[in-house]
Chain A
Amino acid sequence: MNEVELLNWARGPGLVGASFIMVFGIILRLFEIFSLGKAKEYAEVRSSGAMGGIKTIIQRSIPEPRYWRYIGAAYLFHVGLFVVIFFFMPHILMFESVLGFSWPALPNFIIDIFSVLTIGGMIYTLMSRFTNPSRRIMTVFSDYLVWAVTFLPVITGYMTFHRFVGDYTCMLAIHILSVELLMIVLPFSKLSHSFSFAISRWYTGSAFGKRGTL
């Protein structure tokens, strides 16, 4: 298989398969999560829990100043990922071809800046897992795995855009394949927080709210 065939495969059957698994996985996980239901309240319920739910979703999105370096780096790469994924013109064309609508793109040099910030933020958070003793104890293998499958599309995308190594066709194929790996891993790993974070925060917050602790 040469690089042209690889790119054609990545843009065709590869992408169809990865999209299928991702959508299938997300829906499956959502059904699983919601079917767990709510825990029975043994004490008298003090409020509906709605306020507590909303408050927790917002509160836990606000950075904790004590760990500003780590949280800052984590914030940076999350925002960076969002900007790079959703505001780079070729990406928007991809979304438009699937969703049927589009939105304005950011100029390439801004995307470039956010790519560097994302890469920097991700490397900092990884290093922190090695250097900080408590973080090192908490880290399990899957943390490194999800870091790697998230980092690969970013670094290969950056390298493709700047034509750092080898053939553009080959790099583009590798970039798309790395995104497909991310799409497949996403619903079945810790990366599922991308669609479940609000649900879990709401659940915890509303439980606190009902018990009057929030």
Chain B
Amino acid sequence: MTKKTHRLSDELQKHGISRRSFLKFCTAMASAMALPPMAANVMAETLEKVQRQSVIWLSFQECTGCTESLTRSHKPSIESLIFDFISLDYHHTLQAASGDAAELAREQAMHAHKGKYILIVDGSIPTKDDGVYSTIAGMTNLDMLKEVAKDAAAIVSIGTCAAYGGLPKAAPNPTGAQSVSEIIKDKPIINIPGCPPIPVVMTGVLAHVLTLGIPELDSHGRPVAFYGDSIHDRCYRRPFYDQGLFAKSFDDDGARKGWCLYEVGCKGPVTHNACATLKWNNGTSFPIQSGHGCIGCSEPDFWDAGGFYKALSTSNAEPGHWAGVALGAGAVVGAAAALANRHSHKQAESDKTEITLDDMKESDA
């Protein structure tokens, strides 16, 4: 459904947001993404002038956690206004329409904003058996993604499922789940992984896309501004790691003193996200601050990276189990080799023939 186009400045005034708070928001967004100070002004100017951006949100194999994170974590704020400002033309969970009317809304938006709309995807896409494992209005997720992606200006993969396949892709991956970037190759794709992603990261990236275009991305398609540092590098418990002070369990003295959670399985050193700096629930806390190690939810295949409570330096398989087999096999083959050696020695011994001085003289001659 096409809405009347109006500017963000009008929207803000309607909600009683002063220009001063709006500029503060732009400055916060710009600094969160480590942009130069001037970018805040550019962002403010562009946001004020920009027309309502049509957004189609497709939910595939997901748990709705990403939408929950985005809509329920903060009290109404300027970030939520940004979302009021976006014309969210299709979203299963949030839209009032259902059935044919909902699908019609999607088709209308695709037609009216051809080549201009932003496609947001959460959830992975089942590809096994022609994608029959998840369908919407009789259409497979695979077909719907391809159809909507065709005329999108850019795609934003929200959450680890859309970005990397996430939980549905975990071994043995019964539905042949894939990420958006594994299926769509000809569109700019921004990955905002996390299970779920941090709300301000989602709004921040969307603000960047609306004003300054696609942000700088890392090798996994993530905005460097939010995913450039590891949790470990920004963790307030890092000094304990360096001093060798570790919690051995979740209720020992070390845990109470807030020591490093490396030994109880924290995946902070290999996880790139902004949890340690932006934090959750309006900047209140993040998992490590609450006493639980990082599970690495913004990294590809984190479900298959071994147990959440196994230290990063330990194996994610059972080498000890196989070592027992190796011990037996080594002993059996070793004994066989020893027997073979003995046999060849004995053979050499029995093959010896006595040679006299005369024999040698004869052979010399």
A interface residue numbers (CB < 8 A to B): 2, 4-5, 7-8, 11-13, 15-16, 19-32, 34-36, 89-91, 93-94, 96-100, 105-108, 163, 168-169, 172
Residues A23 and B317 in contact, CB atoms below 8 Å apart: no
CB distance from A86 to the nearest CB of B (A): 13
Residues B270 and A169 in contact, CB atoms below 8 Å apart: yes
Residues A24 and B333 in contact, CB atoms below 8 Å apart: yes
CB distance from B284 to the nearest CB of A (A): 27
B interface residue numbers (CB < 8 A to A): 219-220, 230, 232-233, 241-244, 246, 262-263, 269-270, 299-302, 304-306, 310-320, 322-323, 325-327, 329-331, 333-335, 337-339, 341-342
| Residues in chain B near residue A24, CB distance under 8 A | 326-327, 329-330, 333
Residues B323 and A93 in contact, CB atoms below 8 Å apart: no
Residues B325 and A20 in contact, CB atoms below 8 Å apart: yes
| Residues in chain A near residue B269, CB distance under 8 A | 168, 172
Q: What's the dominant secondary structure at chain B's contact region?
A: helix
Residue on B nearest A97 in the bound complex, by CB: B314
CB distance from A39 to the nearest CB of B (A): 12
CB distance from B4 to the nearest CB of A (A): 45
Residues B313 and A93 in contact, CB atoms below 8 Å apart: yes
Residues B337 and A13 in contact, CB atoms below 8 Å apart: no
CB distance from B126 to the nearest CB of A (A): 21
11 A-B pairs with C-beta separation under 8 A: A4-B305, A12-B316, A16-B319, A19-B326, A23-B327, A89-B244, A100-B320, A107-B244, A108-B244, A163-B233, A172-B270
| Residues in chain A near residue B220, CB distance under 8 A | 2
CA distance A172 to B301 in the complex (A): 17
CB distance from B19 to the nearest CB of A (A): 42
Residues A94 and B334 in contact, CB atoms below 8 Å apart: no
Residue on B nearest A17 in the bound complex, by CB: B322
| Other 12 A-B pairs with CB < 8 A, given A19-B326, A24-B326, A168-B270 | A4-B300, A8-B304, A8-B316, A16-B317, A27-B330, A27-B334, A34-B338, A35-B334, A89-B244, A89-B246, A94-B313, A107-B244
